[in-house]
Amino acid sequence: MDQSHSADFFDEGCLIGVLTTQPLDRVLDYKAPQGGCWRGAFVEVPLGPRKVLGVVWGAGSGDFDSARVRSVIRVLDVAPMRAELQSFLSRAASYTLTPLPAMLRLATRAPGLGDPPSMRKIYRLGDKTPERMTDARSRVLDVLRDYGGLAFTLRELAEQAGVTSSVIKGLVKQGALIEQDSPRDLPYPRLDPDLPGKTLSDDQARAADALRDALRQGGYGTTLLKGVTGSGKTEVYLEAVAEALRLGQQALVLLPEIALTAEFLTRVEARFGVRPAEWHSGVTMTERRRIWKMVGQGDAQLVVGARSALFLPFRSLGLIIVDEEHDGSYKQEDGVLYNARDMAVLRAAITGAQVVLASATPSLESWANADAGKYRRLDLTSRFGASVLPQMRAVDMRREKLDSNRWISPALVEAAAGRIAAGEQVLLFLNRRGYAPVTLCRACGQQIGCAHCDARMVEHRFLKRLMCHQCGETTPIPTECPHCGAEDRLAPVGPGVERLAEEAAERFPDARIATLSSDLFASARALKARIEEIAAGDADLVIGTQLVAKGHNFPNLTLVGVIDADLGLQGSDLRAAERTFQLMRQVAGRAGRAEKPGLALLQTHQPDHPVIRAILSGDEDGFWQAEAAAREAASVPPYGRMAGLILSGSDVAQVFDLGTVLARNAGPLLQIGAQIFGPAPAPIARVRGRHRVRLLIRAPKAAPLQDAISRWLAPVKLKGDLRLAVDIDPQSFL
Ligand code: ADP
Ligand code: ZN
């Protein structure tokens, strides 16, 4: 290629604009280095006394004194950022009102990108046991066991285990660890799309054909793939992945829960012969860098990952799957506030890729987009093979006789006992971790709250501590009331899964009971192992939080008892009904996955509530239509736009003052027809000692909301420790 004539190549000395990962609000001018550089090149540039990472964003602005413009230090030996990713980062930044450098940080979350390819020492488990076991030593071995055979560098391992490198060296001498030389970054093995997949049902085959056709036609498109849990959606979208691979494109599968990826990776391996690249917070730094580089040079065909995988520098991304697209965890709730599902659609639209949104219970947003013809919709109408959806029935708790501090109704006890006697499994579902959500003093009537947050301390009897689910603070369970000092008058109120397990043990003395709650396991791996044991039959009664509602198959589970179906209906969240509907359907979907028909019993005090009725009747489209009509009438998402503004600071009066000033000077918002609510204390009004105040903005659907918010906030200067965060399309209203 004649480099000198390409608009995307800059000769040595040319003025170029470099976007760095530093928190500056502009692209900086530099001179192209010796040999020139491409637009998109990753470079190291001087910034004050430091060297920082950056990307050649385009031509320089010429706004700087040309005598003082410095040269790029070096061009890194990695694939340049493609124009597609540049434009995605820019668009995502303006959509979420995030500074561009923060977006670039998301896209470069792998250390040592500039390091030359080389060998390094890695450490893995050996087969000897050290002569003397110390705490530090066992921590090292635990880390390696937890990551199941992954190897670490010295620094990573020392950091993960919180030990010095001499501890690791000592273990090597003893043969408990093995030290090896390993090339830094290897390509991933090739996946074989032509290995035989499962024989698809007619429904599945039709859906797979449609997805394959869309991929062959090329260009952007989004498909909502809807089907109850177990209807075989995964098999269908794996066929789409196969087609993308055949076309020489890369594919990305996003999953909501790290804990569940292992089962999925095994399925990928069964389908394509090898495991794909895996990207999430549990992946070592070394592996991150490898994925990042290999994705960029096209040597990783398939990435399975958490939401941030969306910012990887794919070379030829042709397909993005967002599995369980309705899942709340796709919304990143701190740092850059983005919704990975929406950003997946944005990236695909820019790069001309296909998106598949898979769910048994789609979000109302996606449902409405399909309804409006913006998304294609494919339905898998029955469960794969013989299994059928469970029957659902309400247990009217107003009629059940229950002693105080008992939560399992006689009707549920009877049904469960029958199933257990028949050798089948039962799930009792309660979406509350810990022993009891409230600890109350019987002398003064006060509840124990967190010292730093506006949240109650939750008793975790298993850990023998009270814990704040907001900030994670824990304290020993006190014997005297922190308010009035009375001895031994503290009492737990209400059930968490641990307390439910106690009750279950009394009611079902002969049953093997397993309690599944994220905080009861030391690692995601340990939890996963336990889930697998249970699925294989190693428990009669499972007690679990929403953790079990997602994805995992329990073939012998035939009864689900929902302890408190009303739990999610409380509160003012605009998505409360939608969430309850989704969660209840998913939990119920755990029952009767194999040949045995399932039953779901929902304990409720409001059997006539429209949401409970919709869940019971199974009239999904009826539910969505009613919910859509209600949202449309209220002009709330997806029929209107919302943004949240969270102000925080240590001085509550200052925070409120700022909120009031902002609300009074909201001209740019009023101009676009938006309404502004607040300032009001945020639902969680204090976190880690900081007071939080919220403003809520509601705008017509077509209004240029981000632009108006930018103009509104432009004059704001934050004093002291005041902070401000904008949340476009808020999900949680925290
Ligand atoms: P979903 O993703 O909709 O929950 P899955 O794709 O996980 O459903 O399918 C549910 C179960 O049925 C899985 O164990 C899967 O292996 C099996 N299954 C799905 N489709 C087929 C098929 N065509 N042939 C054989 N087994 C299948
Ligand atoms: Zn707290």
Residue 435 φ/ψ region, left for φ over 0, alpha for ψ in the -120 to 50 degree band, beta for the rest: alpha
Q: Is residue 688 pLDDT above 90, yes or no?
A: no
Tally the C-alpha atoms within 13 A of residue 270's C-alpha that lie toward its C-beta.
Answer: 11
Ligand 1 close to Cβ of residue 227 (< 6 A): yes
Beta strands in 410-521 (DSSP E): 425-429, 438-441, 457-460, 465-468, 474-476, 490-493, 513-516
Does residue 361's CB lie within 6 angstroms of at least one atom of ligand 1?
Answer: no
Ramachandran category for residue 177: left, alpha or beta (phi over 0 → left; psi -120 to 50 → alpha): beta
CA of 204 to the centre of ligand 1 (A): 10
The minimum-distance atom of ligand 1 relative to the CA of 228 is 3
Ligand 1, atom 10: nearest CA belongs to which residue?
230
Q: Is the pLDDT of residue 381 over 70?
A: yes
Q: What is the pLDDT of residue 3?
A: 45
Please indicate whether residue 381, judged by its CB atom, sits closer than 6 Å to ligand 1: no
pLDDT at 552 over 70: no
**Predicted pLDDT at 631:** 84
Give the closest residue to 674 by CA, choosing from 650, 702, 648, 649: 702
For the segment 292-333, what is each residue's pLDDT rounded down to a tens digit? 999 999 999 999 999 999 999 999 999 999 999 998 889 888
Q: Whose CA is closest to 82, among 273, 201, 250?
A: 250
CA 520 to ligand 2 centroid distance, Å: 19
3-state secondary structure of 290: helix
- For the ranges 541-550, 557-566, 698-707, the maximum mean pLDDT occurs at 698-707
What pLDDT was estimated at residue 572?
57
Name which of 34-43, 66-75, 464-473, 674-683 the model is least confident about.
464-473
Pairwise CA distance, residues 160 & 50, whole Å? 28
The overall average pLDDT reported for the chain is: 87
C-beta of 231 in contact with ligand 1 (< 6 A): yes
Q: In what order do the strands lie in the sheet with 302-305?
A: 277-279, 302-305, 250-254, 317-323, 354-359, 221-227, 376-380
Q: Which residue has the higher pLDDT, 476 or 596?
A: 476
In whole angstroms, give the CA distance from residue 647 to residue 681: 10
246 touches ligand 1 (CB under 6 Å):
no
* Strands in 260-301 per DSSP E: 277-279
Task: Pick the ligand that lies closest to the CA of residue 456.
Answer: 2
In this prediction, residue 257 has a pLDDT band, given cuts at 50, 70 and 90, of low
Give the 3-state secondary structure of residue 4. helix
| Whether pLDDT at 2 is above 50 | no
- Gap between the Cα atoms of 276 and 251, Å rounded: 10
pLDDT digits (tens, 9 = 90+) for 396-421: 999 998 888 899 999 999 999 999 99
Centroid of ligand 1 to alpha carbon of 385 (angstroms): 8
Assess whether pLDDT exceeds 60 at residue 551.
no
283 φ/ψ angles, rounded to the nearest 5 degrees: -85, 140
Please work out whether the CB of residue 98 comes within 6 Å of at least one atom of ligand 1. no
In the prediction, which pLDDT does 1 show?
42
* Cα–Cα distance for residue pair 420/540, rounded to 1 Å: 6
pLDDT at 545: 81
Q: How far is the CA of 420 from the centre of ligand 1 (A)?
A: 26
Question: With a 6 A CB cut-off, is 155 part of the ligand 1 pocket?
Answer: no
State the average pLDDT over residues 34-62: 93
Ligand 1 centre and the CA of 232: distance in Å? Answer: 4
Query: 478-519 pLDDT, tens per residue?
Result: 888 988 989 888 888 889 999 999 999 999 999 999 988 777
Torsion, CA 490, CA 494, CA 500, CA 502, rounded to 10: 20
Residue 734 has pLDDT above 80, yes or no: no
Domains in the chain, please, with CATH? Answer: 6-106 (3.40.1440.60), 119-183 (1.10.10.10), 202-263+272-279+300-380 (3.40.50.300), 391-432+495-627 (3.40.50.300), 641-728 (3.30.70.600)
Establish whether residue 594 lines the binding site of ligand 1, counting it when its CB lies within 6 angstroms of any ligand atom.
no
233 CB less than 6 Å from ligand 1? Answer: yes
Considering every ligand atom shown, identify the ligand nearest to the alpha carbon of residue 267 and give its number.
Answer: 1
